[in-house]
Amino acid sequence: MNTPLPLPPQHHGVGSLACVGLGMTLGSHLTPLARSHIEQADVVFAALSDSIVEAWLHGMHPDVRSLQPYYREGKSRMRTYREWVDVMMTEVRAGKRACGVFYGHPGIFAWSPHKAIEVARVEGFEAHMEPGISAEDCLYADLGIDPGRFGCQHFEASQLLFYERRIDVTGYLVLWQVGVVGDRSLKRFSTGSQHRQVLVDVLAADYPLDHEIILYRAATLPIEQARIRRVGLRDLPHTQLTAEETVILPPAQELKPNVAVQERLAALE
């Protein structure tokens, strides 16, 4: 039997907000503290990966309100995210202990939890973020990557196109949200092969077109396995890609010793 962990005392009638991570895989990634925030909340808001996970959450609390219906094709995602903040803060201002539950980590590729906590704190309410196991964490485990070996760069794929960024090809390059790469409207749920071709053209300045890349999706249900596919960089535009898949480019060159700095450090010894 799970005994809820004690949370900070709250004065009666004073609202608070906790944004917690459910982790990526149903049931196996939830921390005891995140569970306590959910079970002890007055109202729970859910932005989760699928309906099965949401149904599981309903078994933990009698008042779970899905945030998914705020999404709509052709509607700016930023407008949806602002609505999420408003609906959570409405309950906080009404004196409720509100809990926002987000799949993975609530602070990674998630604008609303950060903004809601910021607004709550500015208005004088207690607000807290409780981390969860993210897709990045699962990626390292499933692909056998140690970020400390060669280093990792992480970019939101569209940001890599919209701005001038420097890529270090001696480390891993992890690109998130490639399924909507190049979408300037924030209204689409996916973009097509022509958008991915622009991404490939940008990457081709640093990587050979035959460089093997990895398409990765973490498991969200215990009965699933992580989805791992390998294709050539040139094939990315014509490869079916889901919104949940992440693109990883392994190192394309070996680390180059910085001889001058190594000699300077040797002199210190």
The residues annotated as belonging to the active site are 77, 81, 103
Residue 256: CA count within 13 A, CB half-sphere:
6
Q: What are phi and psi of 252, to 5 degrees?
A: -105, -15
**Residue 248 Ramachandran class (φ > 0 left, ψ -120 to 50 alpha, else beta):** beta
Of 16, 10, 44, 45, nearest in space to 124 by CA = 16
End-to-end CA distance of the chain: 57
Of 31, 27, 36, 30, nearest in space to 4 by CA = 36
Contacts of 50 (CB under 8 A, 6+ apart): 220
